[in-house]
Amino acid sequence: MPDRLAWPLGLTIVGVFLLALPHLLSFSQQEIAVFLLINILVVASYRLLTLTGEWSLGHVVLMGVGGYASALFAKLAGVPVPLAMVLGAGTSAAVAYVLSFPLFRMKGFYFLIGSFAAGEVIRLLWIKFRIFGGPKGLKLIPPFPDIGPIVFFDPTNYYYLCLVVVAASLALLYRIEHSRIGLTFHAVHWRDQLAESVGVDTRRYRTLAFVLASFFAGVSGALLAHYIGTVNPNRFDVAQMVFVLIWVIVGGTATFFGPIIGAVTLTIVNEIVLRQLGTDELRPLFYGGILIAAMLCLPGGLESLAPRLRHLFRRKAKAAPRAVEQGPGVKAGGYEPS
Amino acid sequence: MPELLLQTCVNAAYAASFMALVAVGLVLIFGVMGIINFAHGELYMLGAYAVVYVYADHHLPFWLAVASGLIFVGLLGIAMEHALFRPMRQNPLGGLIVSIGMLLILQALIVAGFGVRMEHIPPPHQQAIPLFGMAVTIPLQRLITILAAAVLLGALWLFLKRSKFGRALRACAQDPEAAALQGISLNQTARMSMFIGAALAGTAGALTAPLVRTYPYMGHPIIVTAFIVIIVGGMGSLEGAVVAAILYAFVSTFVTTFWDGVTADIVGLLLMLLVLVVRPYGLFGKPERA
């Protein structure tokens, strides 16, 4: 198959499949599909941040900022929900921008722990102040308004809404990554001193990645808030962040699709395999095991299987052997303490 | 009022003692192996569950429960070093991530074994010791914790400064390659630091088990506190961890007493962010090589 055709063909197949998907699923599975779409946006936006080499533990909290802000705009200020969602995402970006001043004085581990602390502070503020509803969070968040006969309370319809929003966001994220800005992110990650020497303001690009990633995290938070109708501090705690990390790491971060593959695979495994087991409490055991196994046995993530399989396939077809294409993050997260 | 202030100081001293035990272990592991052990709070939790199992369920003496907690958690630390951290030696973020995996597994195992409910541990010592006249008292169990922490940390200090193996451990923390060239086994020092670090956390958990709420997720607030302490003190500095534990315990206990717990958490985290911004290498740390 010529490579020129692979992209449009692949996208069409995936698109048709995604459009047909809700009609193949049961009601509860449709809900899971909605959450999966939202989580895909979370992991894809997280990857944008990791492009600059920084790993944050505050991403899920910034997603929560989007959810809380959108809910408050809609509930207290009476802003129409679609606009509130955009404003909520904007709030996430603004909060990230403010946080970037203290956080980007640090790198590596210190940034990781700093982002964790900043996230916990935000969560504690939600618990402490009345306007955020305290530990129980916000309830009765206005749902997405119906368009004519289309009722968004129905998971199928909300699924299509999420599909549109997430697909558009992914397209934007993809464009950003493959633009000059995205290439600069890579440069900031791998050769920051060289990048600085040719006039790249590395801190500004780190901030830009952080703000953009937080914006899309905010979009996903807003999508979540107006679907389930409640947000509370526990929904955005460090345990959720750990799940995002697991998806991203099991999928791999070298390519755009790695984290998405991770989220999709693990969600399917979770729903099909673990639902059979029945016990909710033993689920972390499985996730912990998968995380460790992925780090020890498959440091490149699931995505690193594809080039290997292609390589095997090509060899069998006696085509000219080609070097396995490897992205920059192949050495397990590509993390270097500095 | 002076009684309340004194009483709060006594409470803070107790909080400082077990925080120092946890934080020093974390710093020791980070110093020698360069890995942040996210599962450290779970090691603390396991120490508490050793007391649940040995003392509360099987009615054996309390000191035996603490000793078994120390040894069991220490050995688990060695196993973690061998199976998880050794393959990740060149990859600090990888080490952090496998320790998160370990955290999930340990929590799930305890939930499977003991259930999510809070454990009831009958206090081994009921009496309270009066201090400074009669107005201020300290429960004997807290006093024991403070003394045990002082003894353990003192012993660790002597071990690190005076013994040959302690010097090897510090050499590894300063420069692993140069240490290896001097014939120091990196595997051995890593194993030892992990044993000591885990055992300290386990002991802290065992000693405080009758005093705190013992449940499978009790490690989370502990690891958050320990992060604050090691950042404020400086990531590689044992002395810094002790000083920062005392500082943080006093700030946190006073804010909790005079305002409330959530405010205390916010103040603690803001303190840490402030230190990160002004002096990212901590109060006692050294600036990193560029």
Q: What is the DSSP string of A259-282?
A: HHHHHHHHHHHIIIIIHHH--STT
For residue A245, what pLDDT is reported? 87
Residue B231, classed as helix, strand or coil, is: helix
For residue A219, what pLDDT is reported? 94
Domain coordinates in residue numbering, chain B: 2-219
- Nearest Cβ partner for B273 among A118, A281, A288: A118
The pLDDT of B186-199, averaged and rounded, is 88
Q: Name the band, by pLDDT with cuts 50, 70 and 90, for residue A91.
A: very high
Q: How near does any CA of chain A get to the CA of B102, in Å?
A: 6
The more confident residue out of A59 and B164 is: A59
The more confident residue out of B133 and B92 is: B92
H/E stretch holding B139 reads strand B136-139
Q: Look over chain B and give the mean of its residue pLDDT values, rounded to a whole number.
A: 84
Q: What's the predicted TM-score (pTM) here?
A: 0.83
For residue A103, what pLDDT is reported? 85
The pLDDT of B245-265, averaged and rounded, is 84
The pLDDT of A226-233, averaged and rounded, is 88
The pLDDT of A323-334, averaged and rounded, is 39
Give me the residues paired with residue B130 across strands: B137
The pLDDT of A137-150, averaged and rounded, is 81
Cβ contacts (< 8 Å) between A238 and chain B: which residues?
220
Cβ contacts (< 8 Å) between B87 and chain A: which residues?
296
The more confident residue out of A325 and B47 is: B47
Q: Name the band, by pLDDT with cuts 50, 70 and 90, for residue A242.
A: confident
Query: CA torsion sign, A155 to A156 to A160 to A163?
Result: positive
The pLDDT of A111-140, averaged and rounded, is 85
Q: Which residues contact B28 (CB under 8 A, 6 or more apart)?
A: B169, B193, B196, B197, B200, B238
Kindly list the residues of chain A whose beta carbon comes within 8 Å of any beta carbon in chain B: 55, 102, 105-106, 109-110, 112-114, 116-118, 120-121, 124-125, 127-128, 238, 242, 245, 249, 281-285, 287-292, 295-296, 299, 331-333, 335, 337-338
Q: Report how far residue A35's alpha carbon sits from residue A161's, in angstroms, rounded to the nearest whole number.
A: 12
For residue A335, what pLDDT is reported? 41
Least confident of A162-166, A210-214, A318-322, B69-73: A318-322
Write the single-letter amino acid at A194.
Answer: L
| pLDDT greater than 50 at residue A323 | no
Q: Name the band, by pLDDT with cuts 50, 70 and 90, for residue A277.
A: low
Pull the structure tokens for residue A98: 């403010």
Environment class of residue B180 by beta-carbon count within 10 Å: exposed (0-12), middle (13-18) or buried (19+)?
Answer: middle
Size of the A and B interface in Cβ pairs below 8 Å: 118
Least confident of A176-190, B134-148, B203-217: B134-148
Nearest to A195 by CA among A328, A203, A109: A203
Question: Is B224 in the A-facing interface, judged by CB distances under 8 Å?
Answer: yes
| pLDDT greater than 70 at residue A330 | no
The pLDDT of B190-218, averaged and rounded, is 88
- Nearest Cβ partner for B101 among A105, A127, A292: A292
For residue B287, what pLDDT is reported? 64
Domain coordinates in residue numbering, chain A: 26-236, 238-338
Least confident of A194-203, B63-72, B219-228: A194-203
Q: Report how far residue A191's alpha carbon sits from residue A254's, in angstroms, rounded to the nearest whole number.
A: 16
Q: Name the band, by pLDDT with cuts 50, 70 and 90, for residue B241.
A: confident
Q: Which residues contact A179 (CB under 8 A, 6 or more apart)?
A: none
**What whole-number percentage of chain A has pLDDT above 70?**
89
Q: Of the segments A214-223, B33-42, B132-141, which one has the largest average pLDDT value? A: A214-223
Nearest 5°: phi and psi at B138? -130, 125
Q: Report how far residue A73's alpha carbon sits from residue B151's, in angstroms, rounded to the nearest whole number.
A: 56
Q: Look over chain A and give the mean of its residue pLDDT values, rounded to a whole number.
A: 82
| ipTM of the shown complex | 0.79
Q: Report how far residue B233's alpha carbon sits from residue B27's, in angstroms, rounded to the nearest whole number.
A: 10
